[in-house]
């Protein structure tokens, strides 16, 4: 153990000597530290040691400082930001931010403040919207259906529990019809109560028009409790408005309000994280090769809790013909 510590201290001393050489403009392996003399006599060892300790304190080049510098990779940890990417196949979501343990360049770390209930609720809603948006982007496309199922007055359920039971019966029947035709049934759904008190359901499902399976005809045949409405999905805004609509909560009755559910066979995009060794990012982001940035999605903001800046945006893949998607 003592031998290892001696080697480490020797390594730190060599680093300190190299740094001093660079500062004095002298290089080369044969450079030797100049020893001061007074009246042709060497300075007593005690005085020399004292002067060396003062130099270490002022220059921050003591063995301990050198060790810290090694562990911090030369201080590069202070010049990093995090980049998180969600890949949904034809769309990528990118977010850049400064981790709380590093902070933004030129800004002191702020004291942690307990977020207010309003801030927590707003952030939870935004996270919920983003999660649903990623699910839609990774599993559905323009032309699929936003399906609304309503009840006839005489068939209206008396509670959310009854409404969800009716929806489950319908989903089970749809899954069985898809399975017989050789297709997986994928969906995202939410049950909510309207302003007049009537329950209804919102679903996002694929549109299949094949000889063995037609989605619209199958829905009309299996939903026997009332009416239906088929709204085509459109990519404008990358489904953010639809995700926000699914995530909203207008009621908390029975603690079962508008919480959404989904099929287990959906692709769930996973975050790809990396640390970028730069102080700052470019305010106007550049796309990756083969992609283009959606200008309306670029946001440069400030985290309300940490006070540090962040940037987020989305990229869309350029089609194989070299023409951007509409």
What is the residue-level pLDDT of the chain in tens, covering all 326 positions? Answer: 555 555 555 655 665 565 555 555 544 444 444 444 444 444 455 555 555 555 545 555 555 665 555 455 444 445 789 999 999 999 999 999 998 655 555 555 556 667 788 888 888 888 899 999 999 999 999 899 999 999 999 999 988 889 999 999 999 999 999 999 999 999 999 998 888 888 999 999 999 999 999 999 999 999 999 999 999 998 776 788 899 888 875 444 445 556 789 999 999 999 999 999 888 899 999 999 999 999 999 999 988 777 789 999 999 999 765 444 43
3-class secondary-structure state, position 97: strand
Which tokens sit at 105?
């360049």
What's the confidence (pLDDT) of residue 215?
Answer: 97
Work out whether the CA dihedral 202, 171, 138, 211 comes out positive or negative.
Answer: negative
What's the confidence (pLDDT) of residue 92?
Answer: 95
What's the confidence (pLDDT) of residue 170?
Answer: 98
What's the confidence (pLDDT) of residue 6?
Answer: 57
Q: Model's pTM, two decimal places?
A: 0.69
Helices (H), the chain: 2-24, 45-59, 63-71, 117-139, 160-181, 215-222, 240-247
Question: Cβ(68)–Cβ(46) under 8 Å?
Answer: no
Rounded distance, CA 145 to CA 275, Å? 39
Backbone phi, then psi, for 27, in 5-degree steps? -130, 175
Which tokens sit at 298?
């670029």
What's the confidence (pLDDT) of residue 176?
Answer: 97
Rounded distance, CA 101 to CA 113, Å? 15
DSSP letter (8 states) at residue 174: H
> Where do we find the tokens 């599993």?
139
Rounded distance, CA 163 to CA 158, Å? 8
Rounded distance, CA 158 to CA 167, Å? 14
CA angle 104, 105, 111 (to 5 degrees): 45
């Amino acid at each position: 153990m003592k031998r290892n510590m001696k080697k480490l201290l020797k390594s730190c001393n060599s680093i300190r000597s190299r740094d001093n050489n660079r500062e004095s403009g002298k290089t080369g392996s044969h450079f030797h530290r100049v020893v001061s003399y007074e009246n042709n006599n060497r300075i007593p060892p005690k005085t020399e040691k004292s002067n060396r300790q003062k130099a270490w304190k002022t220059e921050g080049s003591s063995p301990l400082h050198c060790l810290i510098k090694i562990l911090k990779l030369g201080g590069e940890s202070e010049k990093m930001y995090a980049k998180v990417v969600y890949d949904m196949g034809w769309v990528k979501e990118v977010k850049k931010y400064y981790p709380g343990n590093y902070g933004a360049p030129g800004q002191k770390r702020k004291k942690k403040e307990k977020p207010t209930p309003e801030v927590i609720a707003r952030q939870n809603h935004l996270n919920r919207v983003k999660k649903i948006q990623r699910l839609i982007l990774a599993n559905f496309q323009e032309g699929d259906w936003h399906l609304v199922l309503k009840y006839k007055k005489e068939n209206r359920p008396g509670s959310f529990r009854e409404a969800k039971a009716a929806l489950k019966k319908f989903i089970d029947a749809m899954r069985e019809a898809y399975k017989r035709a050789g297709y997986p049934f994928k969906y995202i759904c939410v049950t909510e109560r309207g302003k007049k008190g009537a329950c209804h359901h919102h679903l996002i499902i694929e549109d299949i028009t094949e000889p063995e399976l037609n989605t619209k005809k199958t829905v009309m045949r299996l939903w026997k409790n009332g009416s239906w409405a088929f709204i085509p999905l459109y990519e404008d805004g990358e489904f953010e408005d639809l995700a926000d609509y699914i995530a909203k909560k207008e009621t908390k009755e029975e603690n079962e309000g508008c919480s959404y559910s989904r099929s287990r066979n959906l692709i769930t995009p996973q975050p790809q994280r990396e640390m970028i060794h730069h102080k700052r990012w470019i305010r106007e982001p550049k796309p990756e090769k083969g992609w283009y940035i959606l200008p309306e999605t670029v946001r440069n903001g400030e985290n309300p809790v940490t006070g540090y800046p962040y940037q987020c945006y989305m990229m869309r893949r350029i089609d194989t013909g070299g023409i951007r998607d509409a």
